[in-house]
Amino acid sequence: MTLKPWYEEIGEMIKNSGVLHADETGWRVNGQTFWLWAFTTKEATYYVINKSRASPVVLKFFKKVFAGILVTDFWGAYNAIVCAGKQKCLAHLLGDLKKVAKYKDKSKDWPIFSKRLKRILRDAMRLRGRCQTLEKGKYEQLCGCVEKRLTQLIETPWENVEAKRLVKRLRRHREELFVFLYHKEVPFDNNHAERTIRGAVVMRKNSYCNRSKGGAETQSVLMSVFQTLKQRNANVTKIVVNALHQLLTTKKLPTLTRSLKNSAE
């Protein structure tokens, strides 16, 4: 694949980023179930199509410790990644509360648990929005109050089975829920990854995915390159054509970074 070096270059950009979002969705290759993974920042996106939805996929990509902060939902495969910090998507937590309220067991102390957790999460989100207007000491004090309230919620013995399930999740990811309060570049949701993968979902509906593993690999490369160029507000056609012209002339493909720089000049 001609643009494979650009794909690998994008992968290195992703691995060296400060804040990284990740998500995955179903895909089909020759009629079989595969998964499309997206690792994305504000400036680059790296897609991987793999038969597995488990941790070996992310461990193959992150061969070293990730020095940034990883933002994801609660899918277990992401637990295997060793990184400087993680932020779990609070929107998924709120969504889970809605699902339980609509479809599952709401008996015993569920209403109290649900109300308290919603208030804690929403208060944390509102507090983040006030971080620029509050004095540092006051902001840190309020962050401590929110942290304390969550700890008290986790330590409370709840009777409802769904409350127990969610408490188990909160306890497992306790240090990954409020990272956004202390890092202004980290959001409390994973909307960026979900928006990035949405275009691939539309493509999935129109193209019915891939008919071979080779086609899936090519799809990953092309989607990664085009999405990354789009995020840079670059002229995709112009950059690719110029790079291919240089390849034919010099027998060497310019780097993606060099191609972007030449385009901007």
114-146 residue pLDDT tens? 999 999 999 999 999 999 999 999 999 999 999
Q: At what angle do helices 110-129 and 136-155 cross, to 10 degrees?
A: 160
Q: What is the pLDDT of residue 206?
A: 82
Q: In this structure, are 207 and 169 located in the same domain?
A: no
Cα–Cα distance, 191 to 220 (Å, whole number): 21
**Which of residues 116 and 101 earns the better pLDDT score?**
116
Report yes or no: 61 and 111 within 8 Å, Cβ to Cβ.
no
Domain-located, residue 185:
no
Q: Which helix (H) or strand (E) holds 128?
A: helix 110-129
pLDDT value, residue 256: 95
- Specify whether 125 is located in the same domain as 157: yes
Residue 71 lies in a domain: yes
Average pLDDT in the chain: 95
Same structural domain, 73 and 95: no
Output the pLDDT for position 47.
97
How far apart are the C-alpha atoms of 47 and 219, rounded to whole Å?
9
Question: Residue 265: pLDDT above 80?
Answer: no
Regarding whether 160 and 114 lie in a shared domain, the answer is: yes
Is a pLDDT exceeding 90 seen at residue 96? Answer: yes
Residue indicated by tokens 């939805």: 53
pLDDT of residue 149: 98
Confidence band for 86, pLDDT divided at 50, 70 and 90? very high
Q: How many residues does the chain have?
A: 265
Same-domain status, 31 and 98: no
Residues 136 and 212 in one domain: no
Token pair, residue 171, equals 């306890």
Q: Report the distance separating Cα 226 and Cα 250, nearest Å.
A: 23
Asked if 61 and 80 sit in the same domain, the reply is: yes
In terms of phi and psi (left: phi > 0; alpha: psi -120 to 50; beta: otherwise), the region of 80 is alpha
Distance of alpha carbon 215 from the chain centroid: 25
For residue 59, being part of any structural domain is answered with: yes
pLDDT, one tens digit per residue, over 248-260 is 999 999 999 999 9
Mean pLDDT of 51-80: 95
The answer to the question of residue 35 being in a domain is yes
Instruction: Please tell me whether residues 51 and 126 are part of one structural domain.
Output: no
Q: How far apart are CA 36 and CA 216, in angstroms?
A: 9
Q: Is the pLDDT of residue 103 over 90?
A: no
> CATH no. for residue 60?
3.30.420
Same domain, 99 and 76: no
Average pLDDT over residues 12-17: 96
Same domain? 96 vs 67: no
Distances (CA, A) of 194 to 98, 165, 206: 19, 25, 19
Can you give the pLDDT at residue 203? 84
CA 115 – CA 97 distance, rounded (Å): 9
Burial label for 115, CB within 10 Å (0-12, 13-18, 19+), is exposed
The Cα 114–Cα 264 span in angstroms is 51
Which residue range is the domain that position 100 belongs to? Answer: 90-175
- Which pLDDT score, from 0 to 100, does residue 244 have? 93
The stretch 87-99 carries a mean pLDDT of 96
pTM comes to 0.94
Does residue 112 form part of some domain? yes
Q: What is the pLDDT of residue 255?
A: 95
Q: How many domains does the chain have?
A: 2
Q: Are 19 and 69 in contact (CB under 8 A)?
A: yes
Instruction: Specify the 3-state DSSP secondary structure of 68.
Output: strand
pLDDT in tens, 178-234: 999 999 999 999 999 999 999 888 888 888 899 999 999 999 999 999 999 999 999
Judge if 59 and 18 occupy the same domain.
yes
Contacts of residue 211, Cβ cutoff 8 Å, sequence gap at least 6: 29, 30
- Report if residue 264 sits inside a domain: no
Query: In the structure, what pLDDT confidence band is assigned to residue 63 with cuts at 50, 70 and 90?
Result: confident
Whether 66 is in a domain gets the answer yes
Examine the domain organization and report whether 40 and 77 are in the same domain: yes
- Domain contains 29: yes
